[in-house]
Amino acid sequence: MSEFMLLDAKAPATMEAVVEAVMRLSALSEAQILELVSAGKLSEVFPFRPKSGQEIPPDFVSEDDLVEASALPLNREQRSALVQSSMPSHTKSGQRRGLLGAARTFTRKKIKRSSED
C-alpha cells in the first residue's frame, strides 16, 4: 500500500497504482499538468488524495518559530528531507522510500529501454 488514498473507494491506493499515475503524468508537460489541475481534472489522471487525519497546523506562527528558507541550492540530504516532509503523514518511512524508490526504478528502466531502442 502507498501513503495515498483512492479518491472514490476510500481505501489505500496500491503503490503500483500511484507509480503508474506518476508515470502517466510525467509523460505530460508541466503546462499540460497545470491546465489539468486548473480545470479540476487532475483526479482523472491522479485519483488519489493524502490520507486524512493529519492535524491542521495553527493559523499563526511567531517570528521566532519560523524557519526561513535559504535561497542557496540544497544538498542531497536537504532535498531528501524536503521531499519526505511533503509526503502524506501516517506512513512509515520505509513505505515512503518504497514509493520514491519505485518511481526511480521505473524511470531508470524507461531510460534503459529507450537507449536500447
Partner 1 sequence: MASNPPRNFVRFAPSKADKSRLVDIRITLMTGGDALWWDARLGPWHARIASRADRLWSWSVLLPMCHLVQLAKRRFCRPLVIWARADNGQFVRAGMSILIEQYPYLDVSAPNESHFVWFISAADSGVLGSRYGVSDPPALGRVLLDNAIVLSQNAGLSGRMGLHAAAAGGAGLLTVYVKCGLLQLPATAPLPTSIRRKNDGRFFYADQPVAEALAALLDPAR
The three cell numbers locating residue 18: 500511484
- Residues numbered 27-86 forming contacts with partner 1, rule: CB under 8 A: 27-35, 37-40, 42, 46, 48-50, 54, 56-57, 59-63, 66-69, 71-74, 79, 82-83, 85-86
Given a contact cutoff of 8 angstroms between Cβ atoms, the answer to whether 21 and 43 are in contact is no
- The grid coordinates listed for 105 are 526504478
- Minimum CB separation of residue 100 from partner 1 in Å reads 6
CA distance 117 to 111: 10
d(CA 62, CA 75): 28
Please state the length of the chain.
117
Closest approach of partner 1 to the CB of residue 48, in Å: 7
Helix, strand or coil, per DSSP, at residue 51: coil
Q: Is 25 in the site for partner 1 (CB under 8 A)?
A: yes
* Binding positions for partner 1, rule: CB under 8 A: 4, 18, 22-23, 25-35, 37-40, 42, 46, 48-50, 54, 56-57, 59-63, 66-69, 71-74, 79, 82-83, 85-89, 99-100, 103-104, 106-107
